[in-house]
Chains A and B, each alone.
Chain A
Amino acid sequence: MTALLEIDGLTKRFGGVTAVDACSFTVPAGSVTALVGPNGSGKTTAFNLITGYARADAGAVRFDGAAVRRPDPIRLARSGLTRTFQQARIFPDLTLVENMVAALQQPWTSVFTRAVRRPERERALELLDEFGIARLADERAGNLSYGQKKLLEFAAVLMGDPRLVLLDEPTAGVNPVLVDQIEERIRELNARGLTFLVVEHNMNLVMRLCDPVVVLAQGTKLAEGRPDEVRNDPRVLDAYLGG
């Protein structure tokens, strides 16, 4: 399998703390790759470095075979690498449909066109329907429940037709029914060719859904491999159970 995202020697220090320490792993094209590890192991920091929300002290990122020299969220999103946030981030004062359409990457020429054109609305409604929140389409996004906000954020990043989606704890704080729904969405989108990199604490979900699994501890990669390999790796058990 070819790698869609390659991380090589990524390092980030905050003062004396090394949050991400010479971390290297790859996300194969067409996979659902998991990034797991105990709290504080550097998963979210790694996400921020890859997507350009923080500047790495060292290391290289390659997306789709091309080196990303200075990661910038805007350029990455426009070239097909997008992310969600641990705390669902949506635009509370906009409606669901507006949230979706805002996530469409527009060329400058359409800046003065109508905010929500008919085909855009239809596409938004289609996606919202897949996520089971189409009936709330014209509701203020701020009125949604936490779980629904996570669904909306996930649905919105799909509007720009990404090739790689980084999901930061997609099921944290979400009720079991919605967890199933999110899992099903990921499976279906993956079947259609979308690649995922997922940070997740729900190990049952990770074991069911993801392959390969990358385990981080204290900023470095501890293990990488198929779920069953990783699960039985004594170093991983140590890191999680505090050996």
Chain B
Amino acid sequence: MTRNGLLRGGAFVAAGIAFPLLFNAAWLVNIGILTLMYAALAVSWNLFSGFTGYITLGQVAFFGLGAYSLGITFEHFGIGSGYNPFYVLPIVGACVAFASLPVAWIALRTRAMTFAIVTLTLLFIVQQLAFNLHSLTHGSSGLMLPTPTTFGVDNYDRPFYYAMLGLVLLALLICWGILRSKLGLMLLSIREDEEKARGLGIRVTGTKLVAWWLHVFVTAMVGGVWAYYLTFIYPESSVDPLVMIGAVLMTFLGGRGTLWGPVVGALVLVPAQQYMLIHLGGSQLYLVGYAAVFMVVLLVLPRGIIPSIRDGVVRTRERQRTRGGAAKAAV
């Protein structure tokens, strides 16, 4: 890990841990949880779509599956209260991820726009299932999860906040690991030229499925934490196309295929969205404002925040170097 990377990661972790301790107003911690939730979703979306170039619009289906899986596990197995349900999350994530592989294998036979549409239908299929599998999900009347009573009233939000923070860090660690591993090399070569990658003997489908598994694994756990936090889930909210669009927009905003881009995107967009919701929420104007934030960034930094800044830094350095060189030559 480079020194800068270590610093950046350390600063993020420190700020993440400190935030609810410094600002313990419930509504602020609530915004923090939402921001981290979107950050985790955006980072794991980027983990698959950013690295392979396959745009999936079905990620939220697995968020919903994670939420319902945890809810149903609660109902049928009584996984206790307090911190215990958090320990079940990795199992939920892994199960949802394995269950998604056959569907992914079929979807991955298509490419580009077709893949985006095929995965988008997944989202609606899962939502329909949530509506109609009454015996499991209670349909549109929703599913209740027990409220954790051991967390206390004052800092009730904190455990959920730290759970989300942990998932963001997990997703970032996976991305970081991928970027420096053979898997990353294989994924990037698929993104650049899949046909050529096949010609070199890279097992493209299996490679994409590994990335797919990892992105669903994180996504489903995020869904689980979200369900436990709200203690009440229903089909429209747990499989919400707007959440999907949010995660994708944040990734584009911050910079697709970069490590920190999706986090930066979430840090900008979620607080902006919440601010507008509070101040303009009475009218539909808040969606207009939300869109405006995005348009301004697209106009100023079209390739996303991180790549644009990186280019700017490189350009400035080049300019300084040539200027320095010219000055020396003049002497």
With A83-B199, A89-B193, A91-B193 already in contact, 13 other A-B pairs whose C-beta atoms are closer than 8 Å: A90-B193, A93-B192, A94-B189, A94-B192, A102-B185, A103-B201, A105-B201, A108-B203, A108-B206, A110-B182, A111-B207, A115-B180, A115-B182
**Cα A114 to Cα B183 with chains together (Å):** 9
Query: Are A74 and B198 neighbours in the complex by a CB distance under 8 Å?
Result: yes
Pick 8 A–B contacts, CB within 8 A, sort by A. Answer: A73-B199, A82-B200, A98-B185, A102-B202, A106-B202, A111-B183, A111-B207, A115-B182
- B245 CB–A CB distance under 8 Å: no
Chain B, Cβ-Cβ closest to A89: B196
Chain A hits for B210, CB < 8 A: 111
CB distance from B122 to the nearest CB of A (A): 26
- B197 CB–A CB distance under 8 Å: yes
Chain A hits for B202, CB < 8 A: 74, 102, 105-106
Query: Are B192 and A111 neighbours in the complex by a CB distance under 8 Å?
Result: no
Residue of B195, B201, B206 with most partner-chain A CB within 10 A: B201
Chain B hits for A85, CB < 8 A: 196, 199
- A20 CB–B CB distance under 8 Å: no
Binding site for B on A (CB under 8 A): 51, 53, 73-74, 77-78, 82-83, 85, 89-94, 98, 101-103, 105-106, 108, 110-116, 156-157, 160
Chain A hits for B206, CB < 8 A: 108
Query: Are B201 and A160 neighbours in the complex by a CB distance under 8 Å?
Result: yes
Query: Are A77 and B201 neighbours in the complex by a CB distance under 8 Å?
Result: yes
**Cα A118 to Cα B193 with chains together (Å):** 25
State which residues 169-225 of B face A: CB under 8 Å: 177, 180-186, 188-189, 192-193, 195-204, 206-207, 210
Query: Are A78 and B201 neighbours in the complex by a CB distance under 8 Å?
Result: yes
Chain A hits for B177, CB < 8 A: 112
**Cα A93 to Cα B203 with chains together (Å):** 20
Q: Is the interface of B mostly helix, strand, loop or mixed?
A: helix
Chain A hits for B189, CB < 8 A: 91, 94, 102
Chain B, Cβ-Cβ closest to A108: B206
Chain A hits for B196, CB < 8 A: 85, 89-91
**Cα A155 to Cα B177 with chains together (Å):** 28
Chain B, Cβ-Cβ closest to A91: B192
Query: Are A106 and B188 neighbours in the complex by a CB distance under 8 Å?
Result: no
**Cα A91 to Cα B184 with chains together (Å):** 13
**Cα A159 to Cα B41 with chains together (Å):** 38
**Cα A38 to Cα B202 with chains together (Å):** 33
Query: Are A82 and B185 neighbours in the complex by a CB distance under 8 Å?
Result: no
Query: Are B181 and A115 neighbours in the complex by a CB distance under 8 Å?
Result: yes
CB distance from A150 to the nearest CB of B (A): 13
Query: Are A92 and B201 neighbours in the complex by a CB distance under 8 Å?
Result: no
CB distance from B266 to the nearest CB of A (A): 25
**Cα A78 to Cα B206 with chains together (Å):** 15
Partner pick for B200 among A53, A77, A115, CB 8 A cutoff: A77
Chain A, Cβ-Cβ closest to B201: A77
